[in-house]
A and B are shown apart, each in its own frame.
Chain A
Amino acid sequence: MRVGIPALVFGLALGITSASAQSGDLNLPRSIQAGAAFSVQAGGSGKGTLYIVGPAQFIKQDVQLGGAIEVAAGALYNAGHYSVWVTSDSSTQSGSIDVTPVQKPSDLTFIAKPSRLPVALHNAITGSAYVFDSYGNLITKPMQVSFQLTNQGSAPETRNVETRNGAAWTQMDSAAREGKAQFVARVGDVSSIRIVGEVPGDPCNIKMSARPAGNKIQLVTEPVKDCSGNAISDGTIVTFTATYGAEKTTVDVPLKKGIASVEIPAHRGATISVASGVVLGNQIRWAQ
C-alpha cells in the first residue's frame, strides 16, 4: 500500500481534530489548601478514571462521569502543581490544580552552629530555620520566627525574623560567661531547641612567679583566665622557655586547677618566659 506524504499529513490532522473533539476542560478549583476536599466536574456519561499527576503525588480514582467527582479530604496533600485528567473509552478531559501549604506551622527544621565556641564573640552563633506544615510542605508565605539565646545568669537575647520563601536566619553573640546556652527557634506553637556550649576564650594574660627549689627553679603561674574572667580549661598547654647563653630549654605543662607549675634547672642569668598559644606572659631574669 502506498501512502503519500499529503495523505499522511491529512490523516494526522484528522486525528488531532478527532482528539480535540473528544476532549474538554474539567471544571475544578484553581488551587486548594493541602489536604482539603474538592470536587471535579467532568462531562459525559458512564464510567471513567480520574488521574491527578504531579512529581510530588499521584492519585488514580475510578469515577462516574457527568457529575461531581469528589476527592476526599486528606487525599491530595503535597504542595505543588498537578495535571488532572479524566479519561473514558471515548473521551479525555483535562485540567490542573495547585496545592498550597497549610498556613499553620507544624514543624521546624532548625540548625544552630557551632555547637561549642569561645565566649564573647560577635555574631559567632548562627541559626537558620525552615518552616513546614503538618504535611511536610514548606510554608513559603512570610511567617515570624523568634530566635532566642539564653545564657546562664543573663537576660535572653531575642531576634524576630520574618521568613522569606520559608527560610529565616539570625546571628547572635556568645555570652561573656562560660556555660551552656539554650538556643530556641519558635514559630507559632512550634519550637526547636539547641544547646550551645560556650567555653573560655584564649588566655588574656599570663603571669608567672619564680622561686628557688634546691638547685632548681620552681615556676608557677597565677590562675590563667580569659579577658572576661573565665578560668581557662584544665589541660590547656602552657609553655615555659628558659634561655641561658646558647642553651634553650622548653617545657610544655598542662593547666591543673587553673595554674601551671614546673621545675627547671637553675642558671644564673637565665631568661625565662611563659606563653600559651599566641599569648605571651611575663618574662623573668634569674639572678640568683
Chain B
Amino acid sequence: MMMRRLILASAFAAACSAFAADEPTVHVQQPHLQGPRELQDQTAKAVVQDYLDSWKSMSKALDQNRPDLLDRDFVGAAKDKLTATIKQQNAAGVHSTYHDRSHDVQILFYSPEGLSIQLADNVQYDVQLTKDGKSLGTQQVTTRYIVVLTPSEVRWRVRIFQSEAQ
C-alpha cells in the first residue's frame, strides 16, 4: 500500500514537473549568411547558446511575472515588449508558462560591422495560461521566430524577438 502511494506520488510529481523541466531538442543548421563578414564557429556557438538561454529567462519571467529576469538576455525593443506583457499579465492576475519543445535554428545575417546577428528559429512550444493556480488553457504552438542579437559586455542579447505567420 505504502509502495503504491509512493509510486503514485512520484508519478504525479514527475507529470507536474515535466512541463517545466524537459530540455528542448535543438537542431542548428549551417549558417546561410548574407553579408561580407565571416562568422567564426565560436561566435556562432555563443550566439545560439545565448539565444537558447534567452528562452529560459523569458519563460521564467513570464511564469513568475518578473521583468527583472529579462535583464541578462534581452535588450531594447524585445525587452520593452516582454516587460509590457508581464505588466499586462500581472494587472490581469494571470501568468503564462512557455515550454519550448524544439528549436531549429539557422543564422541568417552577420552585419558587416559585427554589431548584430540575425537568426531564424522554427520553434515548437507549449503555452499555458494560469489564473489563481488554475489552468485556463494550454496550446501547442509551431511558429518561426526572427531574432536579432547584439553583443553586450559578456554575451549576446536578444534585441528583436518576433514570430512570423506560418
Contacts and interface: CB of A to CB of B under 8 A. Distances in A.
Interface of A: 5, 8, 30-31, 51, 53-60, 78-81, 83, 85, 87, 92, 94, 96, 98, 100, 111, 113, 123, 126-128, 130, 136-138, 140, 164-167, 169, 171
Nearest to B98: A55
A126 B137 contact: no
A60 B88 contact: yes
Contacts of B44: none
Contacts of A8: 8
Interface residues of B, number: 43
B129 interface: yes
A138 B162 contact: yes
Contact of A167 (B77, B88, B111): B111
Nearest to A136: B77
B160 A55 contact: no
Give the secondary structure class of A's interface. strand
Contact of B162 (A56, A94, A127): A56
A31 B88 CA distance: 22
A128 B118 contact: no
A54 B163 CA distance: 10
Nearest to A132: B77
Nearest to B141: A81
A60 B92 contact: yes
Contacts of A126: 36, 111-113
B129 A169 contact: no
Interface in B142-163: 143, 146, 148, 160-163
26 contacts: A5-B8, A51-B94, A51-B129, A51-B136, A55-B85, A55-B98, A55-B161, A56-B81, A57-B88, A58-B85, A58-B89, A58-B92, A87-B136, A92-B137, A98-B164, A113-B115, A130-B148, A137-B162, A138-B160, A140-B146, A140-B164, A164-B109, A165-B108, A165-B120, A167-B118, A169-B111
Contacts of B98: 55
Contact of A55 (B82, B118, B120): B82
B141 to A, nearest CB: 6
A8 to B, nearest CB: 7
B116 interface: yes
A87 B138 CA distance: 12
Interface string B111-128: 111011010100000010
Given A56-B82, A138-B160, A165-B120, A83 B34 contact: no
